[in-house]
Structure 1
Amino acid sequence: MEGCEEAATPISNSCNLDLDEKGIVVDNSKYRGYSDLDYARCRLDRKSTSGTCHLLGSALVSWHSKKQTCVALSIVEAKYIAANSYCAQILWMKQQQKDYGTELNKIPLRCDNTSAINLTKNPILHSRTKHIEIRHHFLRDHVQKNDCVVEFVETDKQLADIFTKPLPKERFNQMRIELGIINESCLN
């Protein structure tokens, strides 16, 4: 570590889901997540990097960043695959909450690609989507079962970018604050 260079970012350029004190059920919408990717970033194999983050209230409780195992032919396919991975994590976390006596329904999954969102809602396969492997339609099944709901998030509000893209120092620090990793006073 003696020869390492310091970097401002990794890549250059108290919430409760049970009944509250008054016996009122806490809003499940406080649990949400973001799914994103960096399309075909790897110059050797052109695979995309998926990233997800899961929040409970304002606290980051789980995150994931991994190169996809297959080459996506379009950004829509790559985003759909990333969201599919996130759906599997949602189901696991839902089961964990159920084990603790809390039911979570329709957990919002935030995605910044409307075409990928539409693909989760459309049960008809079109010639343009035939190349997407069957296993990636796992997400569509769980959207139809109301296990999760895929919602649009503007690109500048996509918190999963911190796990997939190189960011300027200011945006990186702002995302850390929004994810509850660090508070603003620590940056001064």
Structure 2
Amino acid sequence: MVGELSYLLGLQVKQTNYELFICQSKYAKDLVKRFELNSKKHTKIPISTSAKLGYDPTGRSVDQTVYKSMIGSLLYLTASRPNIAFNVGECTRFQADPKESHLSAVKGSIRYINRTANHGIIYSRESNLDLVSHSDTDWAGNADDRKSTSGGCFYVGSNLVS
């Protein structure tokens, strides 16, 4: 009754006859500005692939409130940015006692968001209805407690749904 959907709860929606594009570019830019990382060097990947985050007993503690605020903001952004979900999930494990190394990883993810603020998800209207899933696990990949991390994604045709 009010026309085509274009903005809802921080999600920007662009519709054409062939596809639906969902992004959170305004929210992403505001997030970067709020944590004052817009003038910092951008990163090409959200978190270093060689560095493993772990419990850091010798590291300097950082403010939990700021750390949790950053994590919460990034978690909301994963609605349209599943490419950062793993990194954010890794960083959430250290909310009880975040160290500088953990904060550095979170800031790296935010700097990546600054570089890729206009990315989002495209849903094609001309897709088939085949259900396809992919999953991956790093068996005992956590160096601290040897727990495994697993993840997966589900597609209906070429459209990511979960």
Band the TM-score falls in, shorter-chain normalisation:
under 0.3
Structure (1 or 2) with the greater helix fraction: 1
Q: TM-score, normalised by structure 2?
A: 0.26
